[in-house]
Chains A and B, each alone.
Chain A
Amino acid sequence: MSTVLVVDDSAVDRRLVGGMLAKVSGVDVDFAADGKEALRKVQTSPPALVITDLVMPEMNGLELVSAIVEQYPQVPVILMTGKGSEDIAVRALQAGAASYVPKTALHHLLVETVTDVLAMTRDLFSRQRLMEGLKTGRFSFLLTNDADMIPTLISYVQSIVISIGLCDEADVIRVCIALEEALRNAMFHGNLEITSEQREGDAEAYAALLAHRTTSEPWQSRRLHVQLTISKRSGTFTVRDEGPGFDPTKLPDPTDPANLEKVSGRGLLLMRTFMDEVRFNTSGNQVTMVKTNPVAVEGAAA
């Protein structure tokens, strides 16, 4: 049985929603009268789904969404919104709510929405279980200079690294910081040939330059080549751009007191700090970073 936690300060509305959910097979319904009580119940025993009212004393629905998304990202939240709270519904979705249902349309939409969200969650769990069996991942991406793909790729790599167990949670973050720096470096400095000074200068001028470079030759046709090999023992992350390359030895040391106020070089510094090995090809348009799992290496040696 999947437990659905209904959060509403109105006992009448709790009963109304509980009655509707009773029609959904395989669902148990639990109740809380405000966000704080709901969070306590989620902490004690995470439900399969939370359905919450928006306006409540103590902790409101939006705050509850944020708290659950941050602390229990595996628990989806559906918001019930009153008339005139569409803006807040949008904010809730941006904060990570799975869906929302207007209170005026509960009879039409609630059961269907709950069924859909529970099915999606079950599918997600199944995929997570499948990923637990993944031992080695080899990936090759060919990307355009669309910066919106960077966080998406980082998020994907993060899930792969966690599934395979290359490193602990803090080290996963370090790997992701280094990879993000490599991707941004390749896209902006490599393919688009935008300098740190241009990127950190006048924001409007930067936006215009970016728009021009992403739609003009030779910059727009350049691609980003990303190759990843991730196992429990080590991860190798190679990023190549099609720009003119650079000489990494000529970058100023950003930790030199004379350079601390400058805007360049810190990305490479973070890559070198958070990966075990960082090497460039001779033309400087390809970086290979290696992260080793010391626990797996020691285990293999023993």
Chain B
Amino acid sequence: MSEGKHVRLEQEGDTLIVTPLFTFSRFTEGDLVGEWNRILNRIDSDEIKHVVVDLGHIPYFGSTLLDWMVQMWKRAQGKGGTLAVCSASQVGREVLGVAKFDTLWGIYGSRQEAKESLLNA
């Protein structure tokens, strides 16, 4: 497990679990650069194919995280993998729906469901 100031990274098999933490909404631009580099380095490593974004620790998020998710998805796609999202709050699901991201990726209630969805991906 790798815990940054605002994002926790865990590896389970060939899947990287990306968990924005409660403090994510208070990120600064300086934090953002460091955290983003750390995430991309992990996704680019040979061991990682899929990404699960666990939104269970943040009550809401905006376009910054949406843009991150697109970037992570593209990176995973480039390696034959995909991205799944889990544990979003009610407002979080609204944000994903507004961006139409629920048409791109599976949105799951729990991390376990998200991981299971990737087994056949």
Contact = CB atoms under 8 A, between A and B. Distances in A.
Interface in A219-265: 254-255, 257, 260-263
A181 B37 CA distance: 23
A256 to B, nearest CB: 9
Given A170-B90, A177-B95, A147 B29 contact: yes
B26 A267 contact: no
A255 B91 contact: no
B110 interface: no
Most buried by A among B23, B67, B74, B103: B67
A29 interface: no
B80 interface: no
Interface residues of B, number: 37
Interface in B81-107: 90-91, 94-95, 98-101, 103-104
B29 A196 contact: no
Interface string B10-31: 0000000000001101111110
Contacts of B120: none
Contacts of B70: 260-263
B45 interface: no
B26 A151 contact: yes
B60 A173 contact: yes
A39 to B, nearest CB: 17
Contacts of B117: none
The prevalent SS among residues of B at the interface is: helix
Given A147-B28, A181-B63, A260-B104, A200 B98 contact: no
B37 to A, nearest CB: 5
B121 to A, nearest CB: 18
A184 B23 contact: no
B63 A176 contact: no
B62 A255 contact: no
Interface string A144-186: 0001100100100000000000000010011011001100100
A94 B23 contact: yes
A207 B33 contact: yes
Contact of B64 (A170, A184, A210): A184
Contact of A151 (B5, B22, B25, B91): B25
A177 B64 CA distance: 11
Contact of A200 (B30, B71, B94): B71
Contacts of A267: 62-63
Contacts of A262: 70
Contact of B98 (A204, A260, A269): A269
Given A207-B33, A255-B99, A270-B62, A200 B67 contact: yes
B77 to A, nearest CB: 9
Interface of A: 66, 69-70, 94, 147-148, 151, 154, 170, 173-174, 176-177, 180-181, 184, 196, 199-200, 203-204, 206-207, 210, 254-255, 257, 260-263, 266-267, 269-270, 273
